[in-house]
């Protein structure tokens, strides 16, 4: 994880865009099989928010890994790989 972005202003613009963007009303139109993978300790996208998002996309698989944060895919790479493999093979 990058501790200090090379262009602080770019990070701020990206963060503000993420905070201000709301596509909630479009989630139920997603037709593709969807997997949401995250950590229960994610401070950017907390578990309840991930669960709400998954609930709005028909047929979404939600997997939250206990005790990890925003970098769950990296913090628990083996779990991530197994979950993705299981999802793809279904």
Give the predicted TM-score (pTM) of the model: 0.78
The pLDDT of residue 76 is 94
- Dihedral, CA of residue 14, residue 64, residue 53 and residue 59, to nearest 10: 130
Give tens-digit pLDDT for 40-90. Answer: 999 989 999 999 999 999 999 999 999 999 999 999 999 999 999 999 998
pLDDT at 84: 96
CA 18 to CA 9: how far, in whole Å? 14
Q: What is the pLDDT of residue 14?
A: 87
DSSP state of 28: G
Q: What angle do CA 69, 82, 65 make, to 5 degrees?
A: 25
Give the pLDDT score at 81. Answer: 96
- Total count of residues recorded for the chain: 90
Sign of the C-alpha dihedral computed for residues 4, 16, 76 and 33 taken in this order: negative
């Amino acid at each position: 994880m990058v501790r200090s972005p090379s262009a602080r202003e770019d990070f701020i613009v990206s963060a503000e865009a993420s905070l201000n963007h709301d596509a909630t009303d479009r989630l139920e139109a997603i037709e593709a099989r969807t997997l949401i993978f995250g950590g229960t300790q994610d401070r950017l996208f907390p578990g309840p928010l991930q669960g709400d998002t998954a609930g709005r996309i028909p047929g979404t698989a939600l997997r939250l890994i206990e005790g990890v944060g925003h970098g769950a895919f990296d913090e628990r790479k083996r779990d991530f790989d197994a979950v993705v493999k299981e999802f793809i093979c279904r």
